[in-house]
């Protein structure tokens, strides 16, 4: 597997994975907008195909934020997500980011466990965060702590 920067021809596969992974997927226009605005956008490639991606940026001066992360269902539980987050964390580290935040649906127990294994802690609940009324759990990784 290789991790590399997103390129425009990857968009179709990214959208396929995004749509299969989320009930409220980001539309292509938003993904392209954040990319054009300079967000980090990495893809995982295996078998000559994009099998996962991560989008992230630095909010404020020193706070990293993971905007989206998803892995093709057929390639889950094979460390693809782990690798993608690891690359993003390294980039954040080089940019002297203090902590990394993300929001995850309260009902997304699998992703909550995944992020906990990667050193993220659950910090707060934001009620009615999503359009369908579901709460978000804010998770945070302190970059001074390991792993």
Ligand X SMILES: CC(C)(COP(=O)(O)OP(=O)(O)OC[C@H]1O[C@@H](n2cnc3c(N)ncnc32)[C@H](O)[C@@H]1OP(=O)(O)O)[C@@H](O)C(=O)NCCC(=O)NCCS
Binding residues for ligand X, rule: CB under 6 A, are: 21, 68-71, 76-82, 104, 108, 110-111, 113-114, 117
Cβ-based nearer residue to ligand X, 58 or 105: 105
Q: How far is the CB of 78 from ligand X (least distance, A)?
A: 5
Cβ-based nearer residue to ligand X, 61 or 113: 113
Cβ-based nearer residue to ligand X, 96 or 107: 107
DSSP string, 13-78: HHHHHHHHH-SSPPPHHHHHHHHHTT-EEEEEEETTEEEEEEEEEEETTTEEEEEEEEE-GGGTTS
For tokens 């959208």, name the residue: 15
Q: How far is the CB of 134 from ligand X (least distance, A)?
A: 12
Q: How far is the CB of 10 from ligand X (least distance, A)?
A: 16
Q: With left for phi above 0 and alpha for psi between -120 and 50, is residue 117 left, alpha or beta?
A: alpha
Q: How far is the CB of 118 from ligand X (least distance, A)?
A: 7
Cβ-based nearer residue to ligand X, 20 or 96: 20
Q: Which two tokens stand for residue 101?
A: 């935040």
Cα 2 from Cα 102, distance rounded (Å): 24
């Amino acid at each position: 597997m290789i991790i590399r920067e997103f390129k425009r021809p990857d968009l179709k596969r990214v959208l396929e994975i995004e749509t299969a992974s989320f009930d409220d997927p980001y539309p292509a226009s938003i993904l392209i907008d954040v990319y054009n605005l300079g967000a980090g956008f990495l893809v995982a490639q295996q078998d000559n195909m994009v099998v996962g991606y991560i989008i992230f940026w630095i909010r404020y001066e020193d706070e990293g934020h993971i905007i989206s992360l998803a892995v093709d269902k057929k390639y889950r539980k094979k460390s693809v997500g782990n690798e993608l987050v690891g690359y993003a964390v390294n980039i954040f580290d080089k940019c002297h980011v203090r902590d990394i935040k993300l929001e995850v649906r309260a009902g997304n127990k699998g992703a909550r466990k995944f992020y906990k294994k990667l050193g993220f802690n659950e910090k707060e609940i934001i009620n009615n965060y999503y359009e369908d009324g579901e709460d978000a759990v804010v998770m945070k990784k302190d970059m001074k702590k390991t792993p």
